[in-house]
Amino acid sequence: MRKFRLKFAGAAALMGLFVWSASCAEEARRAPPPLVEARSSGQSETAVLAGGCFWGVQGVFQHVEGVSGAVSGYAGGAAASAHYQSVGGGGTGHAEAVRVTFDPKKIGYGEILQIFFSVAHDPTQLNRQGPDSGAQYRSAIFPTNAEQERVAKAYVAQLDRARVFGAPLATTIEPGKSFYPAEAYHQDYLTHNPESPYIAINDLPKLEALKRHFPELYREKPELVAP
């Protein structure tokens, strides 16, 4: 709920958050590519990722070449509690997540994870992301099959061994969990609300980081849920 309250924050508070966000954007880096990549022969695959507020994570992947869709939603808990008012309490087991649909002939699952760790969020933060705190904002990967689980585990271990982020990753790997799309008003939120203080401070810098660190995968026009 914190993100909805930011528009009422005072100028000093907003300036402090802006400075924090700018610092985080400068610290964003292109993580090394995974040494293990997924094997795929399909036309389309999905990845489910959680990295704090789903607005920013969805916005990042909507600008990635090879991605045909990115949907905000919930993963980790039961279907009955997969709605914003319940998830916001932090006790449902859900994380705010994004289901990314991609063409494995254009971009690999490992590359999706590389972007996720590099610019979509800070994987060292435990049960929080920026101004948002609680288990619903945890860093998590929800593999959709055994091959994705294999790649995700190998990549987390690789990044931890190399101390890429200067601290251990807090990212959990949670297989066997269902994804539930979020309410319509959460979809394409970054695109429709670029002047929102929350988006401007926390999420637009992620797009700049994507453009800077992954120019070969960045596309200007987002792939929206409701074009």
- The ranges of the chain with pLDDT < 50 are 1, 5-20, 22-24
Question: Is the distance from CB of 63 to CB of 51 less than 8 angstroms?
Answer: no
Q: Is 24 a catalytic residue?
A: no
Query: In one letter, which amino acid is 82?
Result: A
Which secondary-structure segment (H or E) carries 55?
helix 54-61
For residue 27, the model assigns a pLDDT of 64
For residue 201, the model assigns a pLDDT of 96
Residue carrying structure tokens 């070449």 = 65
Maximum C-alpha span of the chain? 52
Assigned architecture for domain 2-213: 2-Layer Sandwich (3.30)
- Terminal-residue alpha carbon distance, the chain: 26
* Cβ neighbours around 88 below 10 Å, total: 18
Give the active site residue among 31, 53, 107, 119.
Answer: 53
Nearest to 31 by CA among 130, 142, 112, 140: 112
CA distance 37 to 145: 14
Three-state DSSP string of the chain: CHHHHHHHCCHHHHHHHHHHHHHHHHHCCCCCCCCCCCCCCCCCEEEEEEECCHHHHHHHHCCECCEEEEEEEEECCCHHHCCHHHHCCCCCCCEEEEEEEECCCCCCHHHHHHHHHHHHCCCCCCCEECCEECHHHCEEEECCCHHHHHHHHHHHHHHHHHCCCCCCCCCEECCCCCEEECCHHHCCHHHHCCCCHHHHHHHHHHHHHHHHHCCCCECCCCCCCCC
For residue 12, the model assigns a pLDDT of 43
Q: Over the stretch 97-127, which tens digit does the pLDDT of each residue have?
A: 999 999 999 999 999 999 999 999 999 999 9
User: Tokens standing for 187?
Assistant: 């979809």
